[in-house]
Structure 1
Amino acid sequence: MKKSILFLSAAVGLLATTSCQNFKKGDGGLEYNIVKDAGAEKAQPGDLLSVDMIVTSDRKDSLLQSTYDIGLPQIVNIAPDSIPGLYAGDYNSMFKMLGEGDSAIFRLDLDTMAAKTGQPKPEFADKYATFKVKVRKHFKKGDLTDSAMYAQVDEYFKTEIETLKQAEEGKLANYIAKNKLDPKKTDSGLQYVVKEEGSGNKPALGDTVVVNYTGSLVSGTIFDTNDADVAKKENVFNPMRQYEPIRFRVGHDPVIQGWTEGLQLLSKGSKATLLVPSSIGYGERGGGKIPPYAPLVFDVELVDIVPGPKEAPADSTAAN
């Protein structure tokens, strides 16, 4: 996770690490450093900001959120000061200091937040949450109706998503080159590398497969795994989940097409990397931590194959 934080911090461009910053003191314990002031009008209540943002806590390996994982900006609504629970120096106050083209680093005092709001202090930090913010676009409310304003936002995101679509092929090619892979490619666009060959038959439609897996974006961010140790290391551990090999019936249980196709290429005991384009993955909608038009990387181990009746396949469109 530490490498991810360093990579994402570099992606912000103008934002240096917080340890090197000279923070100014604001209201409510808020500390801030305006890294770049583009001179544009600052956000007002009712406005919206499109921002790239990394959120960390003051603990080791503390990445909490990053828009760079998704590849899409986050929309921040600037709330009126009259809303209950808001106070000088809170989350809302940070963004009122910014306009289009600005970038800044904020340290939000969580002790003050707990005292002012009457809510328990979050468990993910000791005292501060740090926000590294870069403003892409400022949507000004002015005299616009809500519907007119959000129509602007919709058009803006259509352009952003189209950018993701056009970038997908290049992202996958860069991942392959960076990791020095020599994958085989199928007609569907699936690419795969068998790292350890198994033995025996390959699964067919109707068989049940037993699989260990870790799924990641090409950035290296892991979004799902059935390995508890990996989940804990990458801060995706869910204590309510059972971490054990998953089982599904090939061609019948709802998994992405890339899995249905890819696992039929492997023998029992095989370990492989599946490179799944969005067309046979999560498509134009994405899902959860997976953005639209995201190529995915799955490291899989085919633990077992349970023969089953061979029937016509069901539609393989749902997410695994």
Structure 2
Amino acid sequence: MKKSILFLSAAVTLLATAACQNFKKGDGGLEYKIVKDEGAEKAKAGDLLSVDMTVTSDRKDSLLQSTYDIGLPQIINIAPDSIPGLYAGDYNSMFKFLGEGDSAVFRLNLDTMAAKTGQPKPEFADKFVTFTVKVRKHFKKGNLTDSALYAQIDTYFKGEIEGLKKAEEGKLAKYVADKKLEPKKSASGLQYIISQEGKGDKVVVGDTVVVNYTGKLVNGKVFDTNSAETAKKEKTFNPMKQYEPIRFRVGHDPVIQGWTEGMQLLNKGAKATFLVPSNLGYGERGGGTIPPYAPLVFEVEVVNIIPGPKGDAPAATLPVDSAATKK
């Protein structure tokens, strides 16, 4: 079970600083710096580690992945060295330096990786990829069956997700306070700020709306946008994506409940911010890079409204897929 996920903490800053210090040389071109050694038993084949981790390349502004962006740790399965494709100094072997409570910085040599695996070097780095790792928990295989071991993981993640649930209300309140916002609040819990009033009638069920949008987590991480400029700025640009206003029929095409409700507050030309609690968004499961129980922030602009048939009834609610839209 892998959850790549928010919030760069003081601990990460400490580890990143350590990355600038001298590294020790390991097998296969691996370089490492042990920042903290709790003296606990180190991981071995068959074990699993729950880790907080950031991954960067040796290029400027090159954050590739961060579990802090999701708020959940990543589970690392320590594989046996006998598996084809593994070699001393590879990604798998890094974690054998670590036990519960340990933290370290590793630099994986891409030239060695290419030579050992026969695969081309990735395009997002020149020579090294750096992993800054802190171990939360060590799950030891020992004599446990696979089912017993993974039952421990399941119980552990249920606890982590319950923590996200309890923290949600505070996260949203802190966002409002930090931004000095004064949102209005609907009966459902949707909070909204209309920053620019539009003209004409407001959206009603059955209308098709044409919308510009940017969706963010409350830590500011953009997870989706139809703005190419914003996507490039946030380093999420996808050349295969068409960056243009989206359109959907309110109450019929599947979108999160926060959008169905929020759009009916707006008219053509209106701009607004929706603060969407998870029960009106992606709920307990999350979606893609959106964590479970994540409050969301959407900046929206209604570009156009295409009136629908009069007296239209809404369609049944469908499950969430990506961003605000469900497909």
Q: Fold match, TM over 0.5?
A: yes
Aligned partner of 1:314 in structure 2 is 315
Q: Over aligned residues, Cα RMSD in angstroms?
A: 1.4
Deviations 1:3-33 (A, max 9, x none): xxx9626353642335532211111111111
CA distance in structure 2 between the aligned counterparts of 1:295 and 1:315, rounded to whole angstroms: 23
TM-score when normalising by structure 2: 0.93
Alpha-carbon deviation of 1:81? 0.6
CA distance in structure 1 between the aligned counterparts of 2:115 and 2:160, rounded to whole angstroms: 39
CA distance in structure 2 between the aligned counterparts of 1:7 and 1:285, rounded to whole angstroms: 20
Residues 37, 81 of structure 1: CA spacing in aligned structure 2 closer, same or farther, 3 A cutoff? same
CA distance in structure 2 between the aligned counterparts of 1:114 and 1:99, rounded to whole angstroms: 28
CA distance in structure 2 between the aligned counterparts of 1:126 and 1:299, rounded to whole angstroms: 36
Aligned partner of 1:278 in structure 2 is 278
Aligned partner of 2:191 in structure 1 is 191
Alpha-carbon deviation of 1:275? 0.4
Aligned residues: 315
Residues 7, 282 of structure 1: CA spacing in aligned structure 2 closer, same or farther, 3 A cutoff? closer
CA distance in structure 2 between the aligned counterparts of 1:259 and 1:16, rounded to whole angstroms: 39
Matched, 1:80 2:80: yes
Aligned partner of 1:122 in structure 2 is 122
Aligned partner of 1:208 in structure 2 is 208
SS at match of 2:242: coil
Whether the 8 Å contact between 1:212 and 1:227 is mirrored in structure 2 is yes
Residues 136, 19 of structure 1: CA spacing in aligned structure 2 closer, same or farther, 3 A cutoff? closer
AA matched with 1:61: D
CA distance in structure 2 between the aligned counterparts of 1:32 and 1:12, rounded to whole angstroms: 16
SS at match of 1:255: coil
Whether the 8 Å contact between 2:48 and 2:138 is mirrored in structure 1 is yes
CA distance in structure 2 between the aligned counterparts of 1:314 and 1:66, rounded to whole angstroms: 38
Alpha-carbon deviation of 1:314? 1.3
Alpha-carbon deviation of 1:235? 2.1
Residues 282-293 of structure 1: pairs in structure 2 closer than 5 A: 282-293=282-293
CA distance in structure 1 between the aligned counterparts of 2:192 and 2:27, rounded to whole angstroms: 54
Alpha-carbon deviation of 1:180? 1.0
CA distance in structure 2 between the aligned counterparts of 1:128 and 1:289, rounded to whole angstroms: 25
Alpha-carbon deviation of 1:68? 0.6
Alpha-carbon deviation of 1:221? 0.7
AA matched with 1:30: L
Residues 39, 11 of structure 1: CA spacing in aligned structure 2 closer, same or farther, 3 A cutoff? closer
CA distance in structure 2 between the aligned counterparts of 1:9 and 1:126, rounded to whole angstroms: 27
Matched, 1:242 2:238: no
CA distance in structure 1 between the aligned counterparts of 2:175 and 2:27, rounded to whole angstroms: 45
CA distance in structure 2 between the aligned counterparts of 1:212 and 1:133, rounded to whole angstroms: 37
AA matched with 1:316: T
Identity value in percent = 79
SS at match of 1:229: helix
AA matched with 1:193: I
Residues 220-235 of structure 1: pairs in structure 2 closer than 5 A: 220-235=220-235
AA matched with 2:255: V
Aligned partner of 2:96 in structure 1 is 96
Alpha-carbon deviation of 1:315? 2.5
Aligned partner of 1:302 in structure 2 is 302
Residues 165, 210 of structure 1: CA spacing in aligned structure 2 closer, same or farther, 3 A cutoff? same
Aligned partner of 2:135 in structure 1 is 135
Alpha-carbon deviation of 1:198? 1.2
Deviations 1:141-161 (A, max 9, x none): 000000000000000000000
Alpha-carbon deviation of 1:317? 3.8
Residues 11, 199 of structure 1: CA spacing in aligned structure 2 closer, same or farther, 3 A cutoff? farther
Tell me, which stretches of 5 or more residues in structure 1 are unaligned? Answer: 1-5
SS at match of 1:56: strand
AA matched with 1:311: D
Tell me, which stretches of 5 or more residues in structure 2 are unaligned? Answer: 1-5
AA matched with 1:86: L
Whether the 8 Å contact between 2:7 and 2:69 is mirrored in structure 1 is no
CA distance in structure 1 between the aligned counterparts of 2:92 and 2:19, rounded to whole angstroms: 24
Deviations 1:174-218 (A, max 9, x none): 111111111010011100111111111110000000000000111
Aligned partner of 2:3 in structure 1 is none
CA distance in structure 2 between the aligned counterparts of 1:236 and 1:176, rounded to whole angstroms: 25
Aligned partner of 1:144 in structure 2 is 144
Deviations 1:205-264 (A, max 9, x none): 000000000001111111100001111221222222211000000000000000000111
Deviations 1:70-113 (A, max 9, x none): 11100000010101111111101110000000001111111111
Deviations 1:46-88 (A, max 9, x none): 0000000011111122111111111110000001010111111
TM-score when normalising by structure 1: 0.95
AA matched with 1:267: N
